[in-house]
Structure 1
């Protein structure tokens, strides 16, 4: 197994796999209400079987090279995750996403973790466009997009029905040349923890 450090605070990014279904379910249960405000993940992961099935679907996507999922561990506890919901190396487009339980909010973990996976997608896989879709009311996730140097492409009005209401979805993106420029600019200044 491998892990990528996410800073100086004992946090790291690791693959999230089906054998971790128990830990994943416990994590979702701890953050169910918080995570479920804007993300349907808690509705999809409600018991051990659905937890294993969700993670297996991403293992299958990884095997097919169409998606990936990673967990964020802080102090050796799973507290969140990031993923490529879609990954299309033929067109060079991917859609990133995230979630986090309340105990880990405000530490910059998502921003740093998404930065790691964008580095991988752009640098290793040759992805040209990374998209970020977020409910217009989800201000913390919009702040992540801004910190990552993404551009707001527009709003898909009332695009997604969610828990009895229709959500406006903002579409943000960063292109590979823009990402490289952001990373270059950040390497020329002292490291500042994101978030």
Structure 2
């Protein structure tokens, strides 16, 4: 995957591979407190070696068709990412997710990048159902799910333990026919 423009504001979606570990670790450091409010990633990526291991795991998922990660750059700086945490070719399902540094919030970057990733999963990988699992307290991520045309299907009460605190999780999803029907005519 090569860098792909996400609009006319200099934003682009780009590959993230183990060779980007130092840059990835610096990105996580810049957003550690903000990203960590609802996402365990900052707890997993404590340094460059942990960043390399994380990116290596996604490189393996990509190679085996079981997941994918793509960075979001703004003005050349890595500011976030979108992922397919899980991609099951047999069931034709996937779970998408995201994170973003605070300096990049409010620009629609995650929504634009997630659209590209979900479109790829549906059109290139034959996925029928894409889920978005989010803490009920994460209003910005819920807003992304809505903008992506997803439907809230469930609230899993007290299902997620994060930093010693129980969180309700919401399951949002979009099916391939819904995704295609909502796509603007070209």
Compute the TM-score of the two structures, normalised by the length of structure 2: 0.98
Task: Give the corresponding residue for 1:45.
Answer: 45
**Residues 87-112 of structure 1 deviation map (CA, whole Å, 9 limit, x = unaligned):** 01111000000000001000000000
Task: Give the corresponding residue for 2:58.
Answer: 58
* 1:111 partnered with 2:111: yes
When the two chains are superposed, the root-mean-square deviation of aligned CA atoms in Å is: 0.9
Q: CA deviation at 1:179?
A: 0.2
Compute the TM-score of the two structures, normalised by the length of structure 1: 0.94
Task: Give the corresponding residue for 1:174.
Answer: 174
Q: Which runs of 4+ in 1 moved over 3 A?
A: none
Task: Give the corresponding residue for 2:125.
Answer: 125
SS of the residue 1:8 aligns to: coil
**When the two structures are aligned, how many residues end up with a matched partner?**
186
Task: Give the corresponding residue for 1:191.
Answer: none
Task: Give the corresponding residue for 1:19.
Answer: 19
SS of the residue 1:187 aligns to: coil
Task: Give the corresponding residue for 2:185.
Answer: 187
How far, CA to CA, are the matches of 1:67 and 1:105 in structure 2?
Answer: 25
SS of the residue 2:119 aligns to: helix
SS of the residue 2:158 aligns to: strand
Q: CA deviation at 1:187?
A: 3.5
